């Protein structure tokens, strides 16, 4: 539920990339919280508007998660995986092409 609180939505949508694939420019404000695993997650926000731009998970240091909304691209590819299905609102249905992980 923390992702829903953080995003203000029923979804927290991300695209994960290898660190070597990502170039970070500009300033960001940080916020650290514990994930469901107990490991820290560091969220980076735009200091001007407060939008989440990207975050890193200490348990997966080789990856960077980028908020899909930060791309501002309606043609961005559809998700392939959905997690936290047990916490999903009952009125939310994922397309059949999205693999569900019952975490």
Please count the structural domains in the chain: 1
pTM of the model: 0.81
- Beta-bridged to residue 63, according to DSSP, are 18
Look up the domain containing 57 and give its range.
2-72
Q: Is residue 37 part of a domain?
A: yes
Q: Is residue 80 part of a domain?
A: no
Span 14-71, pLDDT tens digits: 899 999 999 999 999 999 998 878 899 999 999 999 888 999 999 999 999 999 988 9
Confidence of residue 81 (pLDDT cuts 50, 70, 90): confident
Confidence of residue 101 (pLDDT cuts 50, 70, 90): low
Q: Is residue 6 part of a domain?
A: yes
> HEC states along the chain?
CHHHHHHCCCCCCEEEEEHHHCCCCCCCEEEEEECCCCCEEEEEECCCCCCEEEEEECCCCCEEEEEHHHHCCCCCCCCCEECCHHHCCCCCCCCCCCEECCC
Q: Is residue 20 part of a domain?
A: yes
Q: Is residue 96 part of a domain?
A: no
Residue 103 pLDDT > 60, yes or no? Answer: no
Q: Is residue 55 part of a domain?
A: yes
Q: Is residue 53 part of a domain?
A: yes
Q: Quick one: pLDDT at residue 40?
A: 94
Q: Is residue 101 part of a domain?
A: no
């Amino acid at each position: 539920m923390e992702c829903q609180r953080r995003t203000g939505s029923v979804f927290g949508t991300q695209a994960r990339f290898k660190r070597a694939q990502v170039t970070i420019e500009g300033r960001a404000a940080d916020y650290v919280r514990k994930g469901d695993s107990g490991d820290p997650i560091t969220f980076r926000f735009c200091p001007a508007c407060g939008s989440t731009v990207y975050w890193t998970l200490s348990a997966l240091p080789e990856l960077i998660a980028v908020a899909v909304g930060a791309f501002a691209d309606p043609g961005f590819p559809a998700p392939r995986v959905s997690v936290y299905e047990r916490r999903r609102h009952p009125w939310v249905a994922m397309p059949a092409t999205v693999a569900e992980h019952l975490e």
